């Protein structure tokens, strides 16, 4: 039996008042169960050095439902409650494997409102989706068609800070197939003046989505600051207005990155990027806002999972590789080069555009790794972290 890539199709929907109340109650119960299970696991380890797994927290959930204080957990579907315990188990697995920090408690104000349903928690027939504990199907805006004869294996319902409701259906998509092999390879240098610079010399403009709406955002935030503190209706309305501006910025940014990454993956067989530590770069007070707006991490994530889908290769070059200061013609390594220097001339007489030169060097380094795993001359003797300048292939993430 042929297996296809599983991908999520996300749609906007408009719940009835009764459905909105039921979903809001479910979100609250999911958050409550997650926090209680996290507290129980933390306490068990702190007091008794005991590790509690998913099966133990599932038994706890059964006991909690029988108490008078938590009897309201029986009013919502049990499927999202079990799923949140599985997510907590996954968080602890990642923590013990040193892939993530210790799990944090979910906040009513800051955490994402969502509930996940497996096949036993919903019914999908004739294009109508009905969730457990609901008598009517959701009013979904089918903005794009699902794959033919699609059968969702997972449904996630969420509400963002702007008050918009979304449903995401996880289905197998037979349309996602490896593309024909292409001999093209491209080096990609991320920046701020230009979002991306390719080794071909092409420069992709940075849309600066946040800057375009900065005045509107500032106005909405001033209105929010003038509202009385607390949970009043006027403050809630002003908070939603701020959230809508942020949502507009995020939607435009995501749309642009999707189009850009899809184009790059379709046109090139090998894509070489720099292994940037965006978290550390954000500590720069002068550039943090612009770096956040560029969304380099989101770009890399999209590039990697689409490369897996379509049979392409993404190679990440070590962050300490001096791509900007290395002459792509003769290989001479220059001295210090501040960010203000955008063009420079090598001793060999070649004048370089800083970003294009960096992209060409990244491509050469990536191809060297792809061919034999060797380094590319010249290498620095050491870096501030004690690492040699080695190129590495990025681990492919599951989409």
Q: DSSP assignment of 40-71, as one string?
A: HHHHHHHHH-----HHHHHHHHHHHHTSSTTG
Whether the per-residue pLDDT at 371 is higher than 80: the answer is no
Q: What is the mean pLDDT of residues 230-255?
A: 94
Asked if residue 213 lies in contact with residue 246, where contact means CB atoms within 8 angstroms, the answer is: no
Q: Between 114 and 378, name the one with better pLDDT.
A: 114
CA dihedral angle for residue 337, residue 340, residue 345, residue 346, rounded to 10 degrees: 10
Nearest to 346 by CA among 337, 334, 357, 360: 334
Nearest to 128 by CA among 117, 139, 115, 143: 139
pLDDT band at 76 (very low <50, low <70, confident <90, very high): very high
Helices 233-267 and 296-310 sit at what angle, rounded to 10 degrees? 50
**pLDDT for 265:** 95
Per residue in 356-392, is it b (16+ CB within 10 Å) or e — as a string?
A: bbbbbbbbbbbbbbeeeeebbeebeeeeeeeeebbbe
Q: Give dist(CA 131, CA 26) in Å, integer.
A: 11
**pLDDT for 109:** 84
User: How many percent of the chain have pLDDT more than 90?
Assistant: 66
Chain-centre distance for alpha carbon 301:
6
Q: Give dist(CA 292, CA 104) in Å, integer.
A: 23
Strand partners, 205: 194
Nearest to 38 by CA among 111, 109, 99: 111
Site of tokens 């289905």: 171
Q: Between 194 and 378, name the one with better pLDDT.
A: 194
**pLDDT for 384:** 36
The H or E element containing residue 156 is strand 154-159
Strand 313-317 relative to strand 165-173, pairing: unpaired
Q: What is the mean pLDDT of residues 96-103?
A: 93
Instruction: Tell me the two tokens of residue 121.
Output: 């928690």
Which residues are annotated as catalytic?
189, 274, 355
Instruction: Tell me the two tokens of residue 248.
Output: 């507009």
Q: What is the mean pLDDT of residues 240-258?
A: 95
Q: What is the mean pLDDT of residues 263-290?
A: 91
Q: For residue range 107-139, what is the model confidence (pLDDT) as tens digits?
A: 988 888 999 999 999 999 988 999 999 999 999
Q: Between 201 and 396, name the one with better pLDDT.
A: 201
Q: For residue range 137-193, what is the model confidence (pLDDT) as tens digits?
A: 999 999 999 998 889 999 999 999 999 999 999 999 998 889 998 889 999 999 999
The H or E element containing residue 19 is helix 17-48
């Amino acid at each position: 039996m042929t297996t296809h890539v599983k991908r999520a199709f996300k749609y906007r929907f408009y719940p009835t008042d009764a459905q909105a109340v039921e979903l809001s109650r479910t979100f609250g119960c999911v958050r409550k169960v997650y926090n209680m299970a996290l507290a129980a696991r933390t306490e068990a380890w702190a007091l008794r050095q005991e590790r509690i797994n998913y099966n133990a927290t599932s038994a706890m959930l059964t006991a909690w439902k029988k108490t008078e204080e938590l009897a309201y957990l029986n009013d919502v579907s049990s499927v999202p409650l079990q799923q949140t315990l599985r997510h907590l188990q996954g968080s602890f697995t990642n923590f013990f494997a040193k892939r993530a920090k210790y799990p944090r408690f979910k906040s009513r104000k800051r955490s994402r409102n969502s509930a996940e349903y497996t096949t036993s928690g919903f019914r999908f027939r004739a294009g109508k989706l009905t969730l457990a504990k609901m008598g009517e199907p959701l009013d979904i805006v089918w903005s794009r068609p699902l794959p033919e004869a699609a059968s969702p294996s997972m449904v996630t319902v969420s509400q963002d800070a702007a008050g918009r409701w979304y449903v995401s259906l996880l289905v197998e998509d037979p349309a996602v197939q490896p593309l024909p092999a292409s001999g093209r390879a491209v080096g990609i240098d991320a920046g701020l003046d230009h979002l991306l610079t390719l080794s071909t010399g092409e420069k992709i403009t940075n849309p600066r989505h946040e800057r375009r709406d900065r005045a509107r955002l500032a106005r909405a935030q001033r209105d929010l600051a003038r509202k009385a503190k607390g949970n009043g209706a006027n403050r809630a309305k002003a908070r939603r207005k701020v959230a809508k501006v942020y949502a507009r910025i995020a939607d435009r940014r995501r749309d642009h990155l999707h189009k850009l990454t899809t184009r790059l993956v379709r046109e090139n067989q090998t894509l070489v990027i720099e292994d940037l530590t965006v978290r550390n770069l954000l500590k720069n007070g002068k550039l943090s806002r612009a770096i956040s707006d560029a969304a380099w991490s989101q770009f890399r994530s999209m590039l990697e999972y689409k490369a897996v889908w379509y049979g392409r290769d993404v190679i990440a070059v070590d962050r300490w590789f001096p791509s900007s200061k290395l002459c792509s013609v003769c290989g001479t390594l220059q001295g210090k080069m501040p960010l203000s220097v955008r063009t420079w001339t090598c001793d060999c007489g070649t004048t370089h555009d800083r970003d294009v030169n960096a992209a060409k060097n990244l491509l050469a380094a990536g191809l060297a790794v792809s061919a034999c795993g060797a380094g590319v001359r010249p290498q620095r003797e050491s870096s501030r972290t004690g690492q040699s300048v080695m190129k590495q292939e990025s681990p492919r993430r599951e989409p």
